[in-house]
A and B are shown apart, each in its own frame.
Chain A
């Protein structure tokens, strides 16, 4: 890596101030950024570590019944502390990476990075979550804007994510054999307003909602309701690990399995 300074603010206000410095870069759990720095693929002059900010950590349910997760909360903590409230989300968190990744990686970092194969974007989008930053609140539908692209402005920090808790939900991912990221991951969430289906890993445009499946499942929440439905392979990722057609096929399979597993 190149040399950089590091700031370790303990309040959100100090973090925002530090990110105002030239070529400053926020550092969450570092599970993507640190390997990137080691390969000299990024050269920030200042890294602003968010992991010392207590107000950005924790899992709680607010008065409106939303599950509120601080942006600096690790996957491991979500896996444990969200389990009683939102088992589908806790289960997703418990299968991200390996224990070392889960003990460092954070939900805010994952959503800010918006890796097309990351798991959390599927949960946020399917849940209709709200991404809270130091300046505003952004609905998940507006937040994800394509592979590695979000609505975040320069220096904006994901401080919290507010999840409506669905009646039943399930996330099923099919792992890419090498990286074990989601080759295709599908999150299905059923609430009083209907069913939302979000797909990660598959598309060149990042996480997306499968509206046909949502409509079918909203009228009848069963595996059979998905019969005959398929997504187009046009925008699907094609690489060493699978063709576009394979990924499109897996979207259907994983969606059915998520519906079957929803609880």
Chain B
């Protein structure tokens, strides 16, 4: 367990993030920092209408413009594959989802504002943009399918002409539960019904997407530098399904990536275009997204419309949950879009509570909007939000304490098999709630409310719990659920002759601090200083095939692979040490970087053993090979289930509707923790994003499919002044029972747990001082709060 000394750099040390030195001093190597000799620049001509038929497109004048290398349209990609979807959902009738073609460049029709119509490759970006203005084209504008309910009606405009309607799938989960759920609701003592919207978000990583591609004519090899959370996955998806390039001819590099939040998981048309064009133009091709392009081409998040019913018996025990959700897919199926409202959402509907009957129905809908896919939390925030809102609403309707109602229904025995097909391995929900009550000083709320009221303000307190399934996840299980990929992770531990170590991980760091936290694990296992260990990631040429970073999986899955590989290193190193000390392998112990022989004073240092591995003059060559490098692939047996309890206190100005967050407290159970400071930082960031969703962010389209919030002038991002100092605690630790580190993952928790806390607090404020508002949708922006107060 953690050693509490200043020099300790292993597990439990709050080591400062080593990568921050280069990030904060302007020395990061982001994709846009990469330029390849002779590169040309691409500009995408994008649709400014949501839905239309391309009736003509003439590039001849543009082709003669100065600096133009080549101009591409959809026709040039007829023989090229469709941008693939990585997950196939089977609907409640046993049919597979509808899966329309997603061309690299629009052909025949444009289906959302921002859909690329043509791509101009030129010597400079300015020349490419000039040429784009010389392309003559006609789009016959068609009525757009924007609102999901309308898009499902008979006669609605068809996003894809070859489909019978805009319904991607109608999913029921668990279909066999349906009858019992309906019956339980019919016979319940009380049913609380809530209709809500989980607002559409734009991820807005600080670094926009970038792709630089080159093709080597001497060996027909391609290199793509791209802003990705999972370069190996991009290599597979783009190589195998779109461009037909085998892995050994395609290297994908994702260097420093300035934030992803999910939106950089997916394979995008622009990176496929650059790779294709590099060969077609025989020149490297570079694209850097503008912020305006990011708003209309990065996959968006959330966008669910839900009705949830919670049934309770006369003693306020939960007896059933029934939900109906419309989930927006946008115009095309982004890489993991179908999985988000289904397997990442329906499976979490039990939350922290022992509700015996649960049925989830999700209809996924095509609309003339930007594709929607995973965004920090992905499905789990949507599940948590509706569940924790309806519980709060039930407590208010029944006149009972919302915390007591939750406590009464907590799952307390583990493992716990939910009615929605997952098995929680461990947890302690009363403990996190106890901790929350302490750090949030809930007992002092009444006094603080009085202080606010004395200033003419309303004050509200919102509390909620969350659980998430992360550490995604067992390949055999996700395969049954429709994943077209495995979800193991890989690590290669390369011990160098002098004892320094490079760890190649298939996971990817784009802000999470892996370069600091991962070495702490290896340092702990070997008893050496973490500064001797570097993490290598983000390059398919440098490490084994890995699945990347999302779903709070890097430490739980990638870290476990690293542990397995390091165990192999230790086993082999002990054999070498035994040989050097002429002892039996079984007597060798490794502690603080020294190999000793039990019961003797013999020892050899870590560096002696590593040197012997590469200079094997005195070496057991008959038994083992020289060298000290091991690879492991780790595939977990279950998801991990972090959980927690959050509290938010808001002050609300009844004259303007403005809500300010006064206090925010988070008590999380992440199992074992490697670097507490990094964990706190991850929670802080997640909460800030959750506050953004709850109070500020709103991606809005008008009825014609025009994006109204297309820049920071209209899309409100949270800023430092919008968030309070947080009280976060992760001392409640029930270690994961099935991975070697006992870790659960912490990257998404803040974004999952915080929106319901904020809205519960806003609603609490709006039920004080004589006001009465049952529910309002996010974001609780001033004008919307004011409107809600007007009734």
Contact = CB atoms under 8 A, between A and B. Distances in A.
B129 A241 contact: no
A178 B292 contact: no
A39 interface: yes
B231 to A, nearest CB: 31
A240 B787 contact: no
B696 A177 contact: yes
Contacts of B696: 177-178
Contacts of B700: 240
Given A174-B656, A177-B696, A253-B655, A243 B787 contact: yes
A241 B658 CA distance: 12
Interface in B101-128: 126
Contact of A240 (B656, B698, B712, B782): B698
Interface in A210-263: 239-243, 246, 249-250, 253
A40 B655 contact: no
A177 B781 contact: yes
A106 B36 CA distance: 41
A179 interface: yes
B615 to A, nearest CB: 58
A243 B786 CA distance: 10
A67 B239 CA distance: 68
Interface in B770-791: 781-783, 786-787
A183 B713 CA distance: 12
Contact of B783 (A40, A179, A241, A253): A241
Contacts of B658: 174
A243 B783 contact: yes
B136 interface: no
A249 B717 CA distance: 25
B346 to A, nearest CB: 32
B292 A179 contact: no
20 contacts: A3-B126, A40-B129, A177-B696, A177-B716, A178-B696, A178-B709, A179-B714, A183-B782, A240-B698, A240-B700, A240-B708, A240-B709, A240-B714, A241-B714, A241-B783, A246-B657, A246-B783, A246-B787, A253-B655, A253-B656
Contacts, number: 43
B715 interface: yes
A39 B787 contact: no
B67 to A, nearest CB: 13
Interface residues of B, number: 23
Interface of B: 126, 129, 292, 655-658, 696, 698, 700, 708-709, 712-717, 781-783, 786-787
A138 B786 CA distance: 39
A84 to B, nearest CB: 28
B71 to A, nearest CB: 19
Given A174-B656, A253-B656, A179 B786 contact: no
Contacts of A39: 292
Contact of A178 (B126, B655, B716, B786): B716
A241 B697 CA distance: 11
Contacts of B656: 174, 250, 253
Given A40-B129, A240-B700, A249 B786 contact: yes
A250 B783 CA distance: 10
Among B292, B658, B714, B787, chain A packs the most CB atoms within 10 A around the CB of B714
A40 B130 CA distance: 10
Contact of B712 (A3, A178, A249): A178
B782 A178 contact: no
Interface string A167-208: 000000010011100010000000000000000000000000
Contacts of B783: 241-243, 246
Contact of B782 (A40, A174, A179, A239): A174
A243 B787 CA distance: 9
Contacts of B787: 243, 246
Contacts of B782: 174, 177, 183, 242
B712 A179 contact: yes
Nearest to A38: B290
B786 A246 contact: yes
B158 to A, nearest CB: 28
A258 B239 CA distance: 63
B576 to A, nearest CB: 59
A249 to B, nearest CB: 7
Contacts of B129: 40
Contacts of B786: 246, 249
Contacts of B126: 3
A40 B717 CA distance: 25
A86 B783 CA distance: 32
A212 to B, nearest CB: 19
A1 B611 CA distance: 59
A249 B713 CA distance: 23
B326 to A, nearest CB: 22
Among A40, A177, A239, A241, chain B packs the most CB atoms within 10 A around the CB of A177
A242 B783 CA distance: 5
Interface string A141-177: 0000000000000000000000000000000001001
Nearest to B708: A240
Nearest to B717: A178
A183 B658 CA distance: 12
A179 B708 contact: no
Given A174-B656, A178-B714, 15 more contacts: A40-B129, A174-B658, A177-B781, A177-B782, A178-B696, A178-B709, A178-B712, A240-B698, A240-B714, A241-B714, A242-B782, A242-B783, A243-B787, A246-B657, A249-B786
Nearest to A247: B783
Nearest to B657: A246
A78 B713 CA distance: 25
Top 5 closest pairs, chain A to chain B, by CB: A242-B783, A178-B716, A177-B716, A179-B713, A246-B783
A30 B696 CA distance: 28
A32 to B, nearest CB: 11
Contacts of A177: 696, 716, 781-782
B320 to A, nearest CB: 38
A178 B692 CA distance: 11
A240 B787 CA distance: 13
Nearest to B700: A240
Nearest to A174: B656
Nearest to B714: A178
Contacts of A179: 712-714
Nearest to A179: B713
Contacts of B714: 178-179, 239-241
A85 to B, nearest CB: 29
B747 to A, nearest CB: 26
A133 B129 CA distance: 37
A171 to B, nearest CB: 16
Contacts of A243: 783, 787
B712 A241 contact: no
B708 A178 contact: no
B42 to A, nearest CB: 17
Contacts of A249: 786
A183 B292 CA distance: 23
B581 to A, nearest CB: 64
Nearest to B133: A40
B126 to A, nearest CB: 8
